[in-house]
Structure 1
Amino acid sequence: MRLSSRFAALAVTVAAGLALAACQTPSPPPLRLPELTFAHLGPITLDVAQVVVEDQRPSALDGTADGAARVEMQAPTPPETAIRRWVADRLQPAGGSGTLRAVIKEASITETPLPRTGGLRGTFTNDQAVRFDGRIEVELVAERRDRGYQGFTGATVTRSSTLPENASLYERDQTLLKLVEGMMNDLNYRLETGALTHLSSVVVRR
């Protein structure tokens, strides 16, 4: 009788352990957002010896108006990083002399709190909690001193997006990534068009 009781206790212990193990299954890995790259667009070949990036952005400590906060470094791919990747992927030097300077004048995202619905109605309302405003400004300056040539083109792009108050951290990252991606698509079109038009003397046609 005592032996069977011990076996019963052991069976209960094993069953409890299996149930606990089933409850402690490992959580799925966090979702990963894609990297922003531009190599698939193909290079813009330039008759210059080098392409350099110059960062002339104003300090993030300068502040913003209307209670907005600077949050560009919170984006999965910050605008400044995306610009540098665009330059590396798209602007290909293939000349013996000369320089093309990609000058980053601005690459910012601000976050502004939005008004919420108050009272009982606010309890059942999922308001848009914040607005993100992005702005990118880039200039391309080409110089060939051996020819006495200097060319210039530039572009400024802006986009905005909002985020609801019940959004997850992943949804916030996704919103910021799409904001940067949209700005970079606009920037790519304008700078490519500007280069083909205003820097045609150093663009190698193939």
Structure 2
Amino acid sequence: MIDRALLLLKEELESYLSITDAAATVVIDNIGLFETAAGTQLPDNIVLTLVNLEEESTLKNNTPLKKGYSNAVYQNPPVFLNLYVLFVCNYGGSKYIDALKRLSYVIQFVQGKNSFHYASDTGSLPPGEDILDMKFTLELYTLTFEQINHLWGSLGGRQMPFAMYKLRLIALTSNNRLREVPLIEEIENNNAPINR
């Protein structure tokens, strides 16, 4: 599900950029690998990198019971995640102005459409049962200078134009049923009334 959320985001951003800046390309990769042999496809791209995730604590206490028409199913509730996604405009030297321009386009894209739902968005994502339930929102996540220093230190130390967004509420579940029981349809009371 995490991969599908980022693929949907990439696809939508590419669609937006095809109108505003057709030369811009988007890749999903680890920006921390930029100065390594594995980072050869990272230069001159907008790079989407997952840098952190957290469980949404407000939705942690869901009930494990789901009622159907003829039975009740017990299964562990889904894990709701918030993903922290880094949009890095990886253009250096004389292309630095392109990095700033494309970072502006990324921010405009999210400002214009910050809510995503697979059923309403078209694309070529891989099929899956859980894809129908995929919906999330994006909100700009502002870091302090100290947090930026720590972030880029852990990613290799070289800061590039970037924006971090909090992708809210990805639901992960294995749909593993713990048990299934029939619903209680009626209650019989065969006890005689108590006289007082």
Pairwise TM-score range, normalised by the shorter structure: under 0.3
* Structure with the greater alpha carbon radius of gyration: 1
Higher relative contact order (CA 8 A, sep 6+): 2
The structure in which a higher percent of residues are helix is 1
